C-alpha cells in the first residue's frame, strides 16, 4: 500500500538525523548509545505494557529469547556508528552506513534462505566499487577519515544483519513486543560496556541531554521502529533502497551546520553506489507474504 511507503520515507528521514545529533554530543559513543536506547525503552514502556496485556497468551518466553541476537547487533551497531560518525564527514558516514541493500541479500539468504542471483552479485560489486572510490583518497593520505569509513562500513554490516533478523522474526504478535525489548536489552548491553566512561558524562548538562533525547525520540523510536515495521510488510530490498537514500539529508544539513563541502568525489561515489543498489533491488527475489498484525 502507498501509505506504507510514506511511513518508510518518514522513517528514513528520521534515521538520517542520527549523524547530526551524534555530532552535537560530546559523550562517549557507548555511553551515548546506552542512554538513547534506555530512554527510548522507558518512553515506550506504557506501549509495551498495553501490547503485552493484549497478546500475553501469544507472546512467550521463546519470543523474548529471540530478541537477544538482534539486541546484541543493535547495541554494537549504535556504538560503532556513534564512533564512526565522529571520525569522518557526515555525508560519507551516512552513505557508508546506509549501504544496507548491498549486504542484505546475503544476510537474507543466511537467515531466511532467500536465493541470491547473479545480478545481485553484480550490483554488490558495483556498489563496493563506489565505496572504494569514496575511501581511496583517505586511505592513501592516511587521514582519520579512513578509519572512520571502515568503522561505518562494519556498522553497516551489523545493521543489515539486524534488519534481516527483523524479517525472520515477522511472526511476533506485535511489532512493539519485538522492538521495545530490543531497545531495552541493547541499552543494558551498552550500559555494561560503558561503565569505564560513564563517570565522565556530564549528567547536569542540558547541552548533552538535548541530542540524547533527540536520538531516542527521532532516529530510534520513529526511525528504527518504522524500519522494523516496513521490513515486516515490504520487500526487504525496497526497504534497504529507501533507507539507503537517507544519506542525502545529513549531507545537505552538514553543508550548512558544519560547513562541509560535497566534493565531486563524493558525488561520483554516490552515483556509483546508487547504481549498484538499484541493480540489487530490482533483481531481488520475491519475498514471502507479509506478517499479519
pLDDT tens sequence across 130-176: 777 766 665 555 554 677 778 888 888 998 899 889 888 988 999 99
**Under a CB-based contact definition with an 8 Å cutoff, are residues 51 and 228 in contact?**
no
How many other β-carbons are positioned within 10 Å of the β-carbon of residue 178?
25
| CA atoms in the 13 A half-sphere facing the CB of 15 | 29
Reported as a pLDDT band with limits 50, 70 and 90, residue 180 is: very high
Mean pLDDT taken over the chain = 82
Structure pTM? Answer: 0.81
Rg of the chain on CA atoms, in Å: 18
pLDDT for the residue 125: 79
DSSP 8-class letter at 247: G
The C-alpha cell of 5 is what? 511507503
Angle of CA points 78, 83, 86, to nearest 5° = 125
Reported as a pLDDT band with limits 50, 70 and 90, residue 38 is: very high
Reported as a pLDDT band with limits 50, 70 and 90, residue 40 is: very high
* Nearest-angstrom CA–CA distance, 222 and 245: 17
- Higher-pLDDT residue of 117, 41: 41
pLDDT for the residue 85: 75
- Higher-pLDDT residue of 114, 266: 266
pLDDT for the residue 10: 87
Domain boundaries, the chain: 2-282
C-alpha closest to that of 197 among 36, 33, 85: 33
Q: What percent of the chain has pLDDT over 70?
A: 77
Angle of CA points 284, 248, 103, to nearest 5° = 30
Which residues neighbour 215 within 8 Å (Cβ) at sequence distance 6 or greater? 18, 21, 22, 32, 36
Q: What is the pLDDT of residues 195-227, one digit of tens each?
A: 999 989 988 888 899 999 999 999 999 999 998
Can you tell me the mean pLDDT for 64-69? 95
- Higher-pLDDT residue of 5, 212: 212
Amino acid at each position: 500500500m502507498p501509505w506504507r511507503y510514506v511511513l518508510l520515507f518518514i522513517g528514513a528521514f528520521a534515521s538520517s538525523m542520527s549523524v547530526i545529533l551524534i555530532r552535537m554530543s560530546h559523550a562517549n559513543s557507548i555511553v551515548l548509545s546506552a542512554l538513547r536506547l534506555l530512554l527510548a525503552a522507558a518512553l515506550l514502556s506504557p506501549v509495551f505494557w498495553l501490547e503485552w496485556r493484549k497478546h500475553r497468551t501469544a507472546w512467550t518466553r521463546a519470543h523474548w529469547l529471540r530478541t537477544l541476537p538482534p539486541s546484541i547487533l543493535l547495541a554494537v551497531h549504535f556504538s560503532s556508528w556513534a564512533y564512526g560518525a565522529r571520525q569522518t564527514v557526515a555525508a560519507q558516514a551516512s552513505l557508508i552506513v546506509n549501504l544496507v541493500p548491498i549486504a542484505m541479500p546475503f544476510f537474507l539468504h543466511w537467515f531466511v534462505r532467500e536465493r541470491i542471483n547473479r545480478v545481485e552479485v553484480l550490483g554488490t560489486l558495483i556498489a563496493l566499487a563506489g565505496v572504494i572510490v569514496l575511501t581511496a583518497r583517505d586511505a592513501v593520505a592516511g587521514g582519520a577519515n579512513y578509519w572512520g569509513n571502515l568503522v561505518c562500513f562494519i556498522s553497516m554490516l551489523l545493521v543489515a544483519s539486524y534488519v534481516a533478523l527483523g524479517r525472520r522474526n515477522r511472526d511476533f504478535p506485535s511489532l512493539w513486543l519485538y522492538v521495545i525489548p530490543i531497545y531495552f536489552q541493547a541499552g543494558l548491553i551498552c550500559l555494561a560496556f560503558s561503565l569505564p566512561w560513564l563517570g565522565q558524562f556530564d549528567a547536569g548538562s542540558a547541552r548533552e541531554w538535548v541530542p540524547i533525547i533527540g536520538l531516542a525520540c527521532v532516529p530510534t523510536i520513529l526511525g528504527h521502529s518504522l524500519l522494523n515495521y516496513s521490513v515486516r510488510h515490504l520487500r526487504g530490498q525496497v526497504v534497504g533502497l529507501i533507507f539507503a537514500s537517507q544519506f542525502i539529508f545529513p549531507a545537505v544539513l552538514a553543508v550548512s551546520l558544519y560547513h562541509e563541502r560535497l566534493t565531486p568525489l563524493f558525488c561520483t561515489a554516490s552515483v556509483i553506489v546508487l547504481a549498484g543498489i538499484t541493480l540489487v533491488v530490482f533483481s531481488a527475489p520475491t519475498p514471502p507474504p507479509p506478517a499479519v498484525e
